[in-house]
Amino acid sequence: MVCLGLGSVVPPAVGQAAVSRTITVDPLVLEKTGQELLKEAVYLTQFQQFEPALSRAQLAAQLNPKSPESWALLGGLYLNLEQVDKGISALNKSLALKESNPGVLFSLGAAYFGQADYPAAADSLKSGLKLEPNQLEPLFDLGNTYYKLEQFDDAIATYQKAIAQNEKFWPALNNIGLVHYEAGEIEAAMLQWQKATEIDEKTGEPILALAVAHYTKGNQDKALTLAQKALEIDSRYGDVDYLIENLWGERLVEDTKMVFNLPKIRETIAQLESNTDESHVLEPEVEEPETLNTPDAL
């Protein structure tokens, strides 16, 4: 019985293995899926939902790597989320697929400027402006780039092109004043800042710059009045680091420090800081009523 039983066992076949089946996907289906994800990412971006938009844009670029639009959107999202290196890489991939894309070139210019790579910023912005020469913000960005490169004549000429597009664009007037002041041309700087304040009376930057210029010319009373007005409009301009971020040059910053050391201005800054601290005091949390779970909808 044992022998018969053993004899009935069929020995396993040697060298046989289960054959894995690979699933094939139509490339057109992948491309269509990538396009749908891209549309969702664009939709979410319009509502500033950058994190969920990013995950969709990443997948869209993977599914459709030859789409310059996917890489462009992905690069822009990275920049919005302050992942600048990844943003620049994605934008360059988009540019490799479609060279004549001014929007991508302008975004690259702004990204390079943020990294203080001013030559690369200038190259990107100039390339974009060759395709679309009348774009206000890129013209302003290029003017700022020339200013950082200390190409002051080019900076002023570019700011003036921006003003030609919009004569009420006071930031360009303001920055022409910055250029003149660093060159020691105080009267010319004051003229530009005065024009800027006439366009917008509620902007603190040119008013504070005017205050500093009046102080250097010995008009202390006028300087005090203007400085207090500027700081009351926007207390951020009482921070020297903030001024430097806004491209105030060494000469203007050093003169501003002297104005900030005046007793009345020190008092004004201290009071504004105190008011800011009080406004940031946390209010007691109010318990929200329980809500029903509802399905998310795009």
Share of the chain above pLDDT 90, in %: 75
The whole-number pLDDT of residue 18 equals 45
Q: Residue 181 is encoded by which pair of tokens? A: 């002041």
Structural contact between residues 232 and 241, judged by C-beta atoms closer than 8 angstroms: no
Which has the higher per-residue pLDDT, 285 or 105? 105
How many domains is the chain partitioned into structurally?
1
Mean pLDDT is highest, among 39-48, 195-204, 285-294, for: 195-204
Q: Residue 76 falls within a domain, yes or no?
A: yes
**Virtual CA dihedral for 28, 31, 35, 38, nearest 10 degrees?**
160
Q: What is the spatial distance between Cα 84 and Cα 282, in angstroms, rounded to a whole number?
A: 33
Average pLDDT estimate for 29-55: 87
> What is the predicted pLDDT for the residue at 219?
96
pLDDT classification of 279: cutoffs 50, 70, 90: low
Q: Is residue 71 part of a domain?
A: yes
Look at residue 106 and tell me if it is in a domain. no
Question: What is the total residue count of the chain?
Answer: 298
Within a domain: 45: yes
* 8 A C-beta contact, residue 50 and residue 77: yes
Q: How confident is the model at residue 52 (pLDDT cuts 50, 70, 90)?
A: very high
Determine, yes or no, domain membership for 237.
no
CATH number at residue 95: 1.25.40.10
Residue 43 belongs to some domain of the structure? yes
98 vs 107: CA distance, rounded Å: 14
How confident is the model over 211-262, as pLDDT tens digits? Answer: 999 999 999 999 999 999 999 999 999 999 999 999 999 999 999 999 999 9
Hunting for tokens 């302050």 — which residue is that? 82
In a domain, 35, yes or no: yes
Please give the average per-residue pLDDT across 12-27, as a whole number.
48
State the Cα–Cα distance between residues 263 and 265, nearest whole angstrom. Answer: 5
Q: Note whether residue 151 is domain-resident.
A: no
pLDDT tens for 88-99 read: 999 999 999 999
User: Domain span at residue 47?
Assistant: 29-99
- Model-level pTM? 0.81
For residue 108, the model assigns a pLDDT of 97
